Structure 1
Amino acid sequence: MGTRFIFIEYGNKDIYFKELKYSLMTLKSLHDLTADDVYVYTERVDRYKNLPITPVSIKDDVASYSLGGSYHFRIKPMVIRRALQELPVSNNLFFVDTDTYIKSSLSQRISEIKPDVVLMNEFEKTNPYAGSVLNNLLLPSGLM
């Protein structure tokens, strides 16, 4: 079973591109990855032509993903959803934020990913709904 790492970079800020390159370097320093193992969903595929990744254009999708620019926080989950739909069944998906840097191998964590198990960085934030399962949560788009 393989793992596909994905990054999402959009907006008109060079800092995100610089963060992503640094994050990618830390990831590749600890894992032997090919361009087929790392996908970057971006509005600017041209700036990735010399990096060992597979760029995927979201230029034509950002408006719909963000509900016409009114809800930019929706872009990441929509891209992750798309990546999951496009992912070969035999692969795991590992999302990495552009400002994440990798300090040690992720192999142990990757081995824990299963169809019924997802992982999240423990430093994100405390679970605001401890003990609750958010079933039937409607997104602003009306999709569940």
Structure 2
Amino acid sequence: MDTSEIILRLGIATAAGLLLGLDRELRGISAGIRTHALVAMSSALITVSALILYDDLRASGQPDLDPLRVVQGLAQAIGFVAAGAIFVSKSAVHNLTSAANIWLAAAIGIASGAGQMRLVAVGVGLGVIIVTLVRIVSKLIPGSDKEED
């Protein structure tokens, strides 16, 4: 993988994270654009690193390599980060949507790091629709005055 490909993959992941965090940022929620951009970019960085390491070790004759273990570990780690953002206060759950959005930013970063740009585009598009358009439409439904974070 050459440097321009690495820059492209990390750049797309960062841009996707910025876009996914925009709704959170505009609403004043602490997990905003910087958090989402960092999660997506770092996920892409770890994925790219795993792929490069896989190629390097395979070329040196190392058998039984599995770069998907890195993705598995990353998914578990971001699960802990997202879970740490969720809290309950007075019988209400807070930051659940933010945690899910952070999870999505990590998944987008993994896909970007793996060079799966169509998957990134679809994931970001659907994610933006969910966190913005669905929230706006749900406020129009009678009786849905629940504030979502």
Q: Fold conserved (TM > 0.5)? A: no
Structure with greater proportional helix content: 2
Larger Rg over CA atoms: 2
Structure 2-normalised TM-score?
Answer: 0.38
Structure with greater proportional strand content: 1
